Structure 1
Amino acid sequence: MRKIGIFLFIFISLCLYFNFLLSGYDPNLIHLDSIYQSPSKEYIFGTDSLGRDLFIRLLFALKTSFLIGIFASFFTICFACFYVFLMRLVFYSFFIRLLNIFLSLPILLLLMFFQSFLQGGFWSMIFIIALAHFPFIAKVLEDELKRLEKLEFYECALVLGCSKIRAFFKELLPPCFSLLMVLFVLNVIHAINTESTLSFFGLGLAFEIPSLGNILNDASKAIFLGAWWMIVFPLLFILGLILPLLLLARFWQNIFGIRL
């Protein structure tokens, strides 16, 4: 399993490296005389409905989806930490009930609803995913903080005169770093899946922005024309992006002894 993870990690690194080398290419360059060309020496992954090189588009899409996952996960962790800190300052009961209400809502439907009013921008997609995912992270973090509050080191810090605000940052939050790292990696996967799902239904990034979801959206129409490469290669890229992250999260869970 570890060898598979290393192989897939190398695969992602090579894809991002080739993306850098091919940065001068236009992923939206249209060749109407090369529509739905099967894989060949000229187009190793074939072309799509507008004659665009699928290999170049997948490389750019991989970078786009990966960056969305990284930034969305980062902001999700930040929002969750701020929310937990805020509800420990004032109105704890109100904020914890509000958090439970958020967790009971159908997140994907809400994402589709709010995304339908936006322009499909890169940063708007990141923030809407972060806002949708932070309640779960906040709930897990709050449960861990409650467990730590029962331990002697926290009680000793309060007895020695440490305020609750200072104890939150100096005593409670540092032991949660390993948990937050695992949640960060897992949330990158959720963010990538969310972007792909929204883009697949036409509610994600703008059409001209290459992403894995947009390419799969095109593939849903191409499959009826026998363009199998429009399905196979994007799915392989998604698996090559998600599986190493899953293995990394699993590896860290085993090292730190975290159970989610």
Structure 2
Amino acid sequence: MLAVLLVPPLVRLDQQAVDLGARLLPPNWSHPFGTDDLGRDLLLRCVYGLRVSLLVGVVAAFTATVIGTVVGATAGALGGWVDRGVMRVVDTFSSVPHLLLGIFIVALFRPGVWPVVVSVALTHWLSTARIVRAEVLSLRSRPYIDAAVSGGASRWRVAVRHLLPAVLPQAALAAVLMVPHAMWHESALSFLGLGLPTHTASLGTLIQGARGSLLAGQWWPTLFPGLFVIVPTLAIAGLAGAWRERINPRRRSELML
């Protein structure tokens, strides 16, 4: 992760350096990950691709968490017909596979970073809304909430002053868990040619561009970008799992995405 923050200026200069005389070189001392079909250093392109995919994942996860938190807190705090209506909308969207809905959304725009961010955000806020709503419904039965209502506090004041701060740790954890999921979503869309433009070095576009090399027996252009997707996912999932245990070990299943 540190390399993602330190190396990008160098990567930006190097990623366009085409050397057809060094195309598809296997891993060696000069190029630890080998080179791609245009002779570009695959290690630097993977680092830059991780930076782009991580940026998309973080922004999309944050946006989806904000949407899900607002929707879930509103449904849980107001209850009644608002709660029933919101949950019917959540159930309707949840019945459609994320990837299929994401393909439909990105198809409305030209390939780029922001269409992918919008696609991931609009397909991943549902689980956060459910988590936040369940937590709000649980908090509404607490004595201090009853005391606030008995003291004349409005529903809006109770939600803003008491309920929302109490669910923020769960929402933050949901956002962290959503980052690797969003990265996989971006990689899948880019691999299908519907995400980022092919000239942008994200992990998805690197894997998509290496399909021909894999069929020809060159394994490294596919293996290393794939590892750059898997390893950060496992690292983030492990850290989030430890955080989840510290927040509330008894409700592990409710915080799963």
TM-score when scaled to structure 2?
0.90
**Deviation larger for 99-108 or 43-52:** 43-52
Over 3 Å counting, the alpha-carbon distance change for 1:214 and 1:24 in structure 2 is: closer
CA contact (8 A) 1:38 1:229 kept: yes
CA contact (8 A) 2:71 2:129 kept: yes
* One-letter identity of the residue aligned with 2:110: Q
- Match of residue 230 from structure 1: 221
CA contact (8 A) 1:28 1:57 kept: no
Mapped pair 1:201 → 2:189: no
- Match of residue 47 from structure 2: 59
Deviation at 1:185, TM superposition (A): 0.7
Deviation at 1:125, TM superposition (A): 1.1
- Match of residue 144 from structure 2: 153
Q: What is the rounded CA distance, in whole Å, between the counterparts of 1:216 and 1:38 in structure 2?
A: 16
CA contact (8 A) 2:61 2:182 kept: yes
**Deviation larger for 125-134 or 89-98:** 89-98
Deviation at 1:116, TM superposition (A): 2.4
Of residues 57, 65, 68, the one that matches 1:80 is: 68
* One-letter identity of the residue aligned with 1:214: T
Deviation at 1:91, TM superposition (A): 3.4
CA contact (8 A) 1:43 1:55 kept: yes
Deviation at 1:143, TM superposition (A): 1.2
**Deviation larger for 235-244 or 200-209:** 235-244
Q: Which runs of 5+ in 1 are unaligned?
A: 1-11
Q: Secondary structure at the match of 2:7?
A: helix
CA contact (8 A) 1:16 1:59 kept: no
Deviation at 1:24, TM superposition (A): 5.0
Deviation at 1:86, TM superposition (A): 4.8
Q: What is the rounded CA distance, in whole Å, between the counterparts of 2:130 and 2:152 in structure 1?
A: 28
Of residues 17, 25, 36, the one that matches 2:24 is: 36
- Report the count of equivalent residues: 248
Q: Secondary structure at the match of 1:75?
A: helix
- Match of residue 251 from structure 1: 242
Q: Secondary structure at the match of 2:125?
A: helix
Q: Secondary structure at the match of 1:59?
A: helix
Q: What is the rounded CA distance, in whole Å, between the counterparts of 2:99 and 2:12 in structure 1?
A: 36
Deviation at 1:227, TM superposition (A): 1.1
Q: What is the rounded CA distance, in whole Å, between the counterparts of 1:103 and 1:235 in structure 2?
A: 28
* One-letter identity of the residue aligned with 1:161: G
CA contact (8 A) 2:27 2:220 kept: yes
Deviation at 1:245, TM superposition (A): 0.6
Give the aligned CA root-mean-square deviation in angstroms. Answer: 1.8
Q: Which runs of 5+ in 2 are unaligned?
A: none
Aligned structure 1 segments of 4 or more residues deviating by more than 6 angstroms: none
- Match of residue 27 from structure 1: 15
Q: Secondary structure at the match of 1:91?
A: helix
Q: Which has the higher contact order (CA 8 A, sep 6+)?
A: 1
Q: Secondary structure at the match of 1:25?
A: helix
Pairing 1:73-112 to 2, within 5 Å after superposition: 73-87=61-75, 91-112=82-103
CA contact (8 A) 1:28 1:208 kept: no
Identity, % of aligned positions: 30
- Match of residue 58 from structure 2: 70
1:189-247 deviations in Å (ceiling 9; x for gaps) = 11001001111111111111110111111222211112111122112212221121101
